[in-house]
């Protein structure tokens, strides 16, 4: 487990790498952060995937704004009590455009392909909150390199915007899984239906589930949105998808 720097066309991305203790090559997984960013909890999630037999890269996608953590975070994040944290993250989030994110994705995939810690072949991608949209975009932008993509409590996956992630559906060859929160203003039922329709129309192998009683951010144990039952369900679904496709 180590921190590293990855040169990109726009600067240098700091990232966390987790890998099995045997030091042998393992299938690669690209893990996209939520808006709170690269921090101890996300590292622990990567460590858990590494224990399951994967080499996992977690980039700080806000690196254009600064190294992680891009804002000072409390050990326990409750946006209701600390709304200024969300406000502080705004400038960092605005540094990441869809175009920039996909330039970065190519770099991350290249880095993983070149690493002696990864096996040859396509990778898996998983993302949380805003990271679910990045996972969906990466699957649609680099279809020859992504075999599986998952997104959990994703935000703004199928909006009316001309660059909404779901519009890449027809390019996707990966198998997809989405675990949606049913209490999530960033991903209402109509957007879930729009995403499902786009994936079905494009013939994408996919499964989407709405986790009853779950809130946006349910996998993040260091936040007030955490749900233990939904998180366990997420791990089962993610590991099943990766195990079958990688």
Query: H or E element: which one contains 29?
Result: strand 28-32
- The answer to whether 216 is a known catalytic residue is yes
Predicted confidence at residue 61, as pLDDT, reads 98
pLDDT in the model for residue 236: 98
DSSP 108-132: HHHHHHH-TTB-SS-EEEEEETHHH
The yes-or-no answer on residue 144 being catalytic is: no
All structural domains of the chain? 2-245 (3.40.50.1820)
Which of the following is catalytic: 26, 34, 41, 129?
Answer: 129
For each of the chain's 246 residues, which pLDDT tens digit applies? 899 999 999 999 999 999 999 999 999 999 999 999 999 999 999 999 999 999 999 999 999 999 999 999 999 999 999 999 999 999 999 999 999 999 999 999 999 999 999 999 999 999 999 999 999 999 999 999 999 999 999 999 999 999 999 999 999 999 999 999 999 999 999 999 999 999 999 999 999 999 999 999 999 999 999 999 999 999 999 999 999 999
pLDDT of residue 154: 98
Q: Given 65, 142, 166, 184, which residue is catalytic?
A: 184
Length of the chain in terms of residues written? 246
pLDDT at 54: 98
- Reply yes or no on whether 65 is catalytic: no
Query: 53 in the Ramachandran plot: left (φ > 0), alpha (ψ -120 to 50) or beta?
Result: left
What integer pLDDT is reported at residue 214 of this predicted model? 97
């Amino acid at each position: 487990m180590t921190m590293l720097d990855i040169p990109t066309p726009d600067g240098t991305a700091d990232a966390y790498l987790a890998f099995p203790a045997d030091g042998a090559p393992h299938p690669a997984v690209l893990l996209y952060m939520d808006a709170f960013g690269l921090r101890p909890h996300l590292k622990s999630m990567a460590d858990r995937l590494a224990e399951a037999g994967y080499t996992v890269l977690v980039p700080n996608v806000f690196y254009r704004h600064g190294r992680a953590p891009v804002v000072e975070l409390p050990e326990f994040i409750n946006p209701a009590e600390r709304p200024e944290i969300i406000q502080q993250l705004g400038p960092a989030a605005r540094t990441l455009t869809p175009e920039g994110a996909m330039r970065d994705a190519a770099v991350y995939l290249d880095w993983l392909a070149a690493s002696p810690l990864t096996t040859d072949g396509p990778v898996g991608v998983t993302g949380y909150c805003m990271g679910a949209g990045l996972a969906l975009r990466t699957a649609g932008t680099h279809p020859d390199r992504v075999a599986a993509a998952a997104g959990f409590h994703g935000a703004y996956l199928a909006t009316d915007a001309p660059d909404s992630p779901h519009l890449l559906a027809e390019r996707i060859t990966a198998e997809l899984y989405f675990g949606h929160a049913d209490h999530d203003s960033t991903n209402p039922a109509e957007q879930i239906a729009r995403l499902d329709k786009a994936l079905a129309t494009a013939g994408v192998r996919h499964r989407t589930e709405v986790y009853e009683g779950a809130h946006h951010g349910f996998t993040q144990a260091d936040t007030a949105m955490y749900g233990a039952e939904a998180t366990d369900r997420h791990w089962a679904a993610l590991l099943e998808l990766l195990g079958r496709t990688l």
